[in-house]
């Protein structure tokens, strides 16, 4: 509960989600961090910034205040093309192709570890 505010008697639990904005807003960027050498960049969150340079600066301040990152990427959120769970039915179930799995092949014990 801590940071959640209870609904006071007589108040509505419905929370408004949209408001009219007076001005243009900064676009959104997705942030990817390489935590250390030897591993890939991992998506860590998003932020808003006017351009890529500012987005990188903000990403450094927001997501790597304790040396969590050796490298940062920022990508405009609108540039991300995603494959969503609902599209999965368009694809053949991988389980129908067990011959792709190493464990489906029987190798005699005498051969040793393979």
Does residue 107 belong to the site contacting another protein (CB under 8 A)? no
Does residue 79 belong to the site contacting another protein (CB under 8 A)? no
Interacting residue with another protein among 38, 79, 80, 85 (CB under 8 A): 85
Residue with tokens 């405009």: 76
Q: Which is nearer to another protein, 83 or 105 (CB)?
A: 83
Q: What is the 3-state secondary structure (H, E, C) of 9-22?
A: CCCCCCCCCCCCCC
| Distances in whole angstroms, Cα of residue 16 to Cα of each of 1, 20, 48, 51 | 20, 12, 22, 29
Site string for another protein, 7-46 (x = CB under 8 A): xxx-x-xxxxxxxxx-xxxx-x----------------xx
């Amino acid at each position: 509960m801590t940071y959640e505010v209870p609904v006071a008697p007589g108040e509505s639990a419905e929370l408004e989600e949209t408001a009219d904005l007076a001005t243009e807003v900064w676009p959104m960027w997705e942030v990817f961090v390489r935590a250390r050498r030897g591993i890939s960049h991992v998506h860590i969150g998003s932020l808003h910034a006017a351009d890529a340079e500012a987005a990188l600066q903000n990403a450094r301040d927001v997501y790597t205040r304790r040396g969590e990152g050796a490298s940062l990427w920022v990508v405009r959120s609108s540039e991300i093309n995603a494959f969503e769970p609902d599209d999965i039915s368009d694809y053949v179930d991988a389980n129908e192709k067990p011959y792709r799995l190493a464990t489906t092949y029987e190798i005699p014990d005498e051969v040793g570890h393979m």
